[in-house]
Amino acid sequence: MAHRTILTPKQREVLFGLPADEAQLLKHYTLSDEDLDHIGQRRRPRNRLGFALQLCALRYPGRALLPGEVIPVEIADFLAAQLGLKDADLDAYAAREETRHEHMASLRQLYGYRTFSGRGARDLKLWLHGQAEHAVSNEDIARRFVEECRRTLTILPAISTIERLCADALVAAE
């Protein structure tokens, strides 16, 4: 299926980028006591920091980290300070690909996150088609979809998938 681009690079960054300014970090990446307990169960500093980062990325912007994704130093510093670690501890995170997958599985179990698949995906697609009639722009429909995924603890699918779903919903609404 052909890729449909409905968002500009700036719109993509706003919806899917990791926050780096202080206000957004405080709002979305401040860890609770419960979070600290779960994070503290990881043995190595790099795994504690990586687990915290995965958790925060799931909360906001609502997606899994991509393999090899460059993490802004502001985020690494902010999380490391809360955990009593150094931001350099993140450098060796997920040297084993399995570690990242194990952490994602733990986060889904502990916090109730679910993947965009099965009945949940079908329900979100139906919801999206209903929202498309009220959307005022491509960015508006994509933002609505992202916010609903966050609300339902659904991990965001790939950006290309979101754009295709939104484009299809907009066409159907017309």
pLDDT per residue as tens digits for the range 67-99: 888 899 999 999 999 999 998 888 888 677 888
Do 69 and 125 sit in the same domain of this protein?
no
As a three-state string, the secondary structure of the chain is: CCCCCCCCHHHHHHHHCCCCCHHHHHHHCCCCHHHHHHHHCCCCHHHHHHHHHHHHHHHCCCCCCCCCCCCCHHHHHHHHHHHCCCHHHHHHCCCCHHHHHHHHHHHHHHHCCECCCHHHHHHHHHHHHHHHCCCCCHHHHHHHHHHHHHHCCECCCCHHHHHHHHHHHHHHHC
pLDDT of residue 2: 53
Within-domain flag for 3? no
155 and 131, same structural domain? yes
Q: Are residues 90 and 125 in the same domain?
A: no
User: CA 123, CA 120: separation in Å to the nearest integer?
Assistant: 5
Residue that terminates a domain, selected from 90, 111, 132: 111
Distance CA 102, CA 148 (A): 26
| 135 inside domain | yes
pLDDT of residue 152: 96
Task: Give 114's strand partners.
Answer: 154
The tally of domains found in the chain comes to 2
Q: Of 64, 88, 111, which residue constitutes the final position of a domain?
A: 111
Question: What's the confidence (pLDDT) of residue 36?
Answer: 98
* 9 within some domain: no
* Domain identity same for 80 and 147: no
Task: State whether 84 and 140 are in the same domain.
Answer: no
Nearest one of 120, 124, 105, 115 to 55, comparing CA atoms: 105
Same domain, 40 and 95: yes
37: containing domain: 14-111
In a domain, 1, yes or no: no
Residue numbers of the chain with a pLDDT score lower than 70: 1-3, 94
Assess whether 50 and 135 both reside in one domain: no
Boundary-marking domain end, from 78, 111, 144: 111
Mean pLDDT of the chain: 93
Domain membership of residue 27 (yes or no) is yes
In a domain, 5, yes or no: no
